[in-house]
Homo-oligomer: A and B are copies of this chain.
Amino acid sequence: MTHKSNPSEIKTYLKTISIFKDCSDSFLAKISANAQCQIHKKGKILFVHDDTIERFYIIKSGWVKLFRETLDGAQAVVDILDNHHVLGEIAIFENNIVPYSAEVVSNAEIISLPLANLKKEIKNDNQLALNMLKSMAHDRRRKDKEIEHRTIQNAPQRIGCFLLRLIDQNQKGPVTIHLPYDKTLVAARLGMQPETFSRALSKLRDETGIRINGATIEMESLDQIVRYSCAACSSNFPCQDLKTTS
A residues adjacent to B (C-beta < 8 A): 49, 68-72, 74-78, 90, 93, 99-100, 122-124, 126, 129-130, 132-134, 136-141, 143-144, 146-148, 150-152, 191, 231-234
Q: Which 4 A-B pairs have the closest CB atoms?
A: A143-B143, A68-B234, A76-B148, A129-B129
Q: How far is the CA of A136 from the CA of B130 in the complex (A)?
A: 12
Q: A70-B231, A136-B140 are in contact. List 15 more A-B contacts (CB 8 A).
A: A49-B234, A77-B151, A93-B137, A93-B138, A122-B133, A123-B130, A126-B126, A126-B129, A129-B129, A140-B143, A143-B144, A147-B147, A150-B150, A150-B151, A150-B191
- Contact status A147-B232, CB under 8 Å: no
A152 touches B70 (CB 8 A): yes
Are B129 and A191 neighbours in the complex by a CB distance under 8 Å? Answer: no
A121 CB to closest chain B CB (Å) equals: 11
Inter-subunit contact A147/B191 (CB<8 Å)? yes
Most buried by B among A77, A130, A138, A151: A151
Chain B residues with CB under 8 Å of A72's CB are 231
**A-B CB contact pairs (8 Å), 27 listed:** A68-B148, A68-B234, A70-B232, A70-B233, A71-B231, A72-B231, A74-B232, A76-B152, A76-B234, A77-B151, A78-B147, A90-B137, A90-B140, A93-B133, A93-B138, A99-B141, A99-B144, A100-B144, A123-B130, A124-B126, A129-B130, A139-B140, A140-B140, A147-B150, A147-B191, A150-B150, A151-B191
A147 touches which of B69, B70, B130, B146 (Cβ 8 Å): B146
B residues less than 8 Å from A134 (CB atoms): 93
Cβ of A138: which chain B residues have Cβ within 8 Å of it? 93
Known: A69-B234, A129-B130, A143-B140. A148 touches B78 (CB 8 A): yes
Residue of B nearest to A136 (CB): B136
Q: In the complex, which of the residues A75, A99, A140, A232 has the most CB atoms of chain B within 10 Å of its own CB atom?
A: A140
